[in-house]
Amino acid sequence: MAPSSSVPLGPGGPIYTPAAGTRTNSLAIVSLVAGIGSFVAHIPVPGFGGFTVALIAVITGFMARGQIRETGEQGMGMATAGMVIGIIHLALLGLLVIALIFAIFVLGAVLFGLHR
């Protein structure tokens, strides 16, 4: 004779399953970290280090946004923030280069004169 019991044999409640789309896109994280880190990357390699890391932030941000649209993952805000920070950093570097070129010409004109 089989024992009788009032305890259910299977699980009594709902089984936890993570909701679809809760995974954060890894390129979005890379973009945000690279965007923030681009300002610090000038320390080991002045000028070129920050430019390279800012460019990585922009490229991975664009790639992450495309992947997020296709897969429905999380991280659109992080990808956008990384892109924006990278673009701002690149723009600031561009302005700095223009200012340095202008200063070189002005300083050259002052030191060596404009007359022939």
Residue 55 lies in a domain: yes
Residue 93 lies in a domain: yes
Question: Computed over its alpha carbons, how large is the radius of gyration of the chain?
Answer: 27
Residue 70 lies in a domain: yes
Residue 11 lies in a domain: no
Residue-level pLDDT at 45: 81
30-84 confidence digits (pLDDT tens): 999 999 999 899 888 887 889 999 999 999 999 999 999 999 999 999 999 999 9
Residue 15 lies in a domain: no
Distance between CA atoms of 19 and 29, rounded to whole angstroms?
Answer: 20
Residue 58 lies in a domain: yes
Residue 47 lies in a domain: yes
**What is the pTM (predicted TM-score) of this model?**
0.74
Best CA proximity match to 47, nearest among 84, 97, 91, 83: 97
Q: What percent of the chain has pLDDT over 70?
A: 79
In this predicted structure, the answer to whether residue 90 has a pLDDT above a threshold of 60 is yes
| Terminal alpha carbon distance of the chain | 117
Question: Quick one: 1 exposed, middle or buried, by C-beta within 10 A (0-12, 13-18, 19+)?
Answer: exposed
Which structural domain, as residue segments, surrounds residue 54?
A: 26-112
The total of structural domains in the chain comes to 1
Q: Say how many residues make up the chain.
A: 116
In this predicted structure, the answer to whether residue 10 has a pLDDT above a threshold of 80 is no
Residue 20 lies in a domain: no
Residue-level pLDDT at 22: 79
